[in-house]
Amino acid sequence: MHGLGELEGVVMDALWRSDEPLRVRDVLEGLTGREPAYTTIQTVMDNLHRKGWVERERQGRAFSYRATRSREQATAAAVRELLATSGDPAGVLMHFAKGSSEQESEILARGLRERTAR
């Protein structure tokens, strides 16, 4: 995810996949192929809280964490940021539209219809 470090992205992925808030231990137990230290994940989650990516609630001696926005909302924000820094956002959007699949074109058209209907 744009704007996140590799381990931050892994933690956010775990939070997005969960229907419930997660503790540091929960995230650690869900990682496969990695074995970072508890304190490393704790620091990452604290950093994500400071950056506004997650909210936390104290539960006993630990915090539970929940994403402040969905994966889709975060991705849309990243696309907007990339467009804003591209130098030619209209050109980028046109290039994307011209190269989009039929399914992507239908989704874009539906989104534009919904936007104008508000």
Dump pLDDT digits (tens) for 4-57: 899 999 999 999 999 999 999 999 998 888 789 999 999 999 999 999 999 999
Q: Could you tell me the two tokens for 79?
A: 């696309």
- Evaluate whether residue 30 is within a structural domain: yes
Count of structural domains within the chain: 2
**Predicted local confidence at residue 118, as pLDDT:** 78
Cβ count within 10 A of residue 106: 11
Q: What are the start-end ranges of the E strands in the chain?
A: 54-59, 62-67
pTM of the model: 0.82
Distance CA 63, CA 12 (A): 15
- Evaluate whether residue 29 is within a structural domain: yes
- Evaluate whether residue 41 is within a structural domain: yes
One domain for residues 59 and 97: no
- Evaluate whether residue 34 is within a structural domain: yes
CA neighbours within 13 Å on the CB side: how many for 27?
A: 29
CATH of residue 57's domain is: 1.10.10.10
Q: Which domain holds residue 114?
A: 87-118
Q: Is 46 helix (H, G, I), strand (E, B) or coil?
A: helix
Cβ count within 10 A of residue 44: 21
One domain for residues 91 and 63: no
